[in-house]
Amino acid sequence: MSDFDPQQSAFNDDFENQDAPTAPERYWTGRRILITLVILITLLAFLAYTFSGLFQPPIRLPELPPPPTIGA
């Protein structure tokens, strides 16, 4: 005789997990949506700051004065 007990087997298909939720939980919870929005806004702000110089005309600095002459 064997000591195998099918009720204690991990491979028993008849076993029902009483702790498992019966209805699937919603994937997009409010917290996930909020975190996603914060990350997207942060990324957009970073990209706007990084590439904002491409949309502005270059700064035209005044010409430098001539170098000083020595002994003149």
45 phi/psi in degrees, rounded to 5: -65, -40
Residue 2 lies inside a defined structural domain of this protein: no
Residue 42 lies inside a defined structural domain of this protein: yes
Domain span at 29: 24-52
Query: For the whole prediction, is pTM greater than 0.85?
Result: no
Residue 41 lies inside a defined structural domain of this protein: yes
* CA–CA gap between residue 35 and residue 44 (Å, rounded): 14
Residue 32 lies inside a defined structural domain of this protein: yes
Residue 43 lies inside a defined structural domain of this protein: yes
Residue 38 lies inside a defined structural domain of this protein: yes
Residue 36 lies inside a defined structural domain of this protein: yes
pLDDT digits (tens, 9 = 90+) for 19-36: 655 555 666 788 889 999
Number of compact structural domains in the chain: 1
Residue 29 lies inside a defined structural domain of this protein: yes
**Percentage of the chain surpassing pLDDT 70?**
60
